[in-house]
Amino acid sequence: MAASTTTPPLYFPTAIDLAVFDEAGPRPQFLVDSEKLKVIVAGLESGQEIPVHPETLAVYTFLAGSGVMTVDDQAFAITAGAVVVAPPGAARGLRADDRLIFLAAKSGL
């Protein structure tokens, strides 16, 4: 397979350190922001929420903390290391029980 010459690879050795916390709510930090793919790192303080909303296909990887993620009518207890795959169009939301850091990759299609 030939190497891509259009975009260099990206490497984030400590992506967890990129999370920004704000009393006003999540402030996602984009690692990739293209038409086809968006990848963010975000942090939530204890008690903060991301309201339930529909979205494209997305994969959430939880790096630190704990909380509850809902996808449609299912609720998942979240701890560091958990991965949730939300299908296209599924309504999803997130509540932090303590300081929570996650990475989300979303299809732009």
Chain segment 1-17, per-residue pLDDT in tens: 565 557 788 999 999 99
Q: What is the CATH number of the domain that holds 22?
A: 2.60.120.10
- Return d(Cα 55, Cα 46) in angstroms, integer: 24
Per the structure, the complete domain to which residue 101 belongs is given by 15-107
Do residues 42 and 26 lie in contact, with contact meaning Cβ atoms separated by under 8 Å?
Answer: yes
- Quote the pTM value: 0.90
The DSSP annotation for 34-72 comes to -SSEEEEEEEE-TT-EEEEEE-SSEEEEEEE-EEEEEET
CA quadruple 86, 92, 97, 102: dihedral positive or negative?
positive
Domain count, the chain: 1
10 in a domain, yes or no? no
99 in a domain, yes or no? yes
- Model pLDDT for residues 44-94, shown as the tens digit of each residue: 999 999 999 999 999 999 999 999 999 999 999 999 999 999 999 999 999
7 in a domain, yes or no? no
